[in-house]
Amino acid sequence: MTTTRFRETITTLAELRSVVAGPHELALRKEIHALDDHCRAFIGRSPFLLLATSNAQGRCDVSPKGDAPGFVQLLGDNTLLLPDRPGNQRLDSLQNIIENPHAGLLFIIPGVEWTLRVNGRARIVRDDDLRERLAFQGRPPALVIVVDVEEAFLHCPKCFKRSQFWDTSCWMPAAEQPSFAAVIRDHTELGDIPVETIDKALEASNRKLY
């Protein structure tokens, strides 16, 4: 991998703080170390989150997770249960958790411009009672990611406002959207297979949500 050289690269905390001032007191005080009623309500309404993990060497991964609102459940006051629904079976997040339990979660609710950040320690469990508790349409997940919460705080809406993320008038028209099947064909070097064939296979796979 080629590393691009730059004239000015910040390498110390002192250099960083010489450019960006320290956080306001409110930004520091908003961090809590247990889920309160506001956090639990947000999690209960969220159908989507991003799960950040890293392996023992620090190589990072961020994986999207989504299901019906409330698919992440609470066990007690400060433990989250996240079902591992069927996916591509790469198991990037799960392999990382085995090597390094630290995990970060970003909960999102469609149309809401602020988010909930949760950090903690994750485990992978197979307890039948937990799997049944997280079953959907009679199908329990094969595995459950358990996260013991260490800190949580709300994230301000500036990024959503700047990006106009929820403004549908700014969304890319369907005709201009890239073809997922075409990208998959090029990335997997399957140039001899028609895009239409790959697209139909992906559609069939995507119908098997559980």
- Provide the pLDDT for residue 43: 97
Q: What is the pLDDT of residue 78?
A: 94
Say how far apart CA 49 and CA 91 lie, in whole Å: 17
pLDDT tops 90 at residue 209? no
DSSP state of 113: S
Whole-number pLDDT of residue 144? 98
Q: In the prediction, which pLDDT does 170 show?
A: 95
Convert the pLDDT of each residue in 85-118 to its tens digit: 988 899 999 999 999 999 999 999 999 999 999 9
18-77 per-position pLDDT tens digit: 999 998 888 888 999 999 999 999 999 999 999 999 999 999 999 999 999 999 999 988
Superfamily of domain 25-163: Electron Transport, Fmn-binding Protein; Chain A (2.30.110.10)
| pLDDT-above-90 percentage for the chain | 84
Cα–Cα distances (Å) from 151 to 3, 40, 61, 171, in that order, read 34, 13, 20, 34
Strand partners, 121: 102, 148
pLDDT at site 137: 87
| φ/ψ bin of 119: left (φ > 0), alpha (ψ from -120 to 50), beta (otherwise) | beta
* In the chain, domain spans: 25-163, 172-206
